[in-house]
Amino acid sequence: MEYAMKRILIVAAVLTAFLSTSLLYAKDGLNAGGGFKFIYAEDENVLQKYFKPFAYAGWADDFFDVNASYYRWISYSITDELLDTREIDIHQPGLGLSFYPGDVTSVDIGYSYFTGDSSYRAHRFEAGLMLDLEKSDISFDYSFKKNMYDFVINIENIIQNAAAELSFDINDSISWDLAYDYDRTDYKTFGYIYDKHTVRTGLLYIKSKNCFILGGISGSADSSNVASFMADAGFTLKLYDHVKLAAIYMLTLEFVKNTVSGGGPGSSTSAIDTSVINTGSISISLYL
């Protein structure tokens, strides 16, 4: 079902966001950029293949950063209750603000509005807090998204995410992180609530100022009684002064316990079904 796809995309989205917003490219003063991303994700029910051209412009200094952005989702698949799919295009303008009230504290807030085919409409709010300590970082993030679209019937979902992460510098090149992530989706139309708990640990290797490499493992459990184990690896590479390449790959093993009725009254047997899922994302960004 759509819930299974969501289990996979959540971690991939977090890792892709990190690769796409590396501080390698932060500049004081006026800054602008653009590029495109290609997203590939699949499970036993749904295949997602879509493009995301984007552009942004902003201003940054020692006290605050402000930016405006625009994303175009091309051939993004929406689903109905029976997992039939329809490809649509979506427009996503957004505004973001970061400010630094102290030497070790940063606060981020953001808003995005989505509109597209099939009467697709969505609002997303985001907020984050980060403490940049001498040898470690502590961060907290929260997001809320309400979306609606027409697919035979009007479908409405509310998606919330809360996360906390501890990152510790092992040396000048390697850091270790431990993160907890909670996701909750309220499928208003179908009267179903899906939630999931995920714990991830991993390493980040800074090979040079132009190259980051990361990898990690994670485990999760959700309200559909599915347990998952995931391994991920990715990199971000600055090829030239204005070009960045980023990629992430994740292998997911899902374990589902099924109970099958036996031959006699009240008898049953249990079996664990395992599925293997591949998820990936590639992005090429151009910066001014």
What architecture is domain 2-287?
A: Beta Barrel (2.40)
pTM, two decimals, is 0.82
Give the sign of the dihedral formed by CA 76, CA 283, CA 96, CA 71: negative
Specify whether the CB–CB gap between 22 and 66 falls below 8 A. no
What tokens were used for 61? 């200094």
Residue 281 has what pLDDT? 79
Say which amino acid occupies 43: D
136-179 tens-digit pLDDT:
999 999 999 999 999 989 999 999 999 999 999 999 999 999 99
CA 243 – CA 241 distance, rounded (Å):
6
Residues in contact with 117: Cβ distance below 8 Å, sequence separation at least 6, in sequence order? 88, 89, 90
Please spell the DSSP secondary structure of 214-236, one letter per residue: EEEEEEEEETTSEEEEEEEEEEE
Residue 10 has pLDDT above 50, yes or no: no
d(CA 160, CA 186): 9
For the segment 183-196, the average pLDDT, to the nearest whole number, is 93
> Looking at residue 112, what is its pLDDT?
98
Can you give the residue ranges of every domain in the chain? 2-287
Bridge partners, residue 243, by sequence: 240, 286
Q: What is the pLDDT of residues 41-93, one digit of tens each?
A: 665 567 788 888 999 999 998 889 999 999 999 999 988 877 788 999 999 99
Looking at 15-19, 73-77, 123-127, 147-151, which range is the least confident one? 15-19
* 238-251 tens-digit pLDDT: 887 778 888 899 99
pLDDT of residue 116: 97
In angstroms, the Cα distances linking 61 to 30, 95, 110 are 9, 17, 18
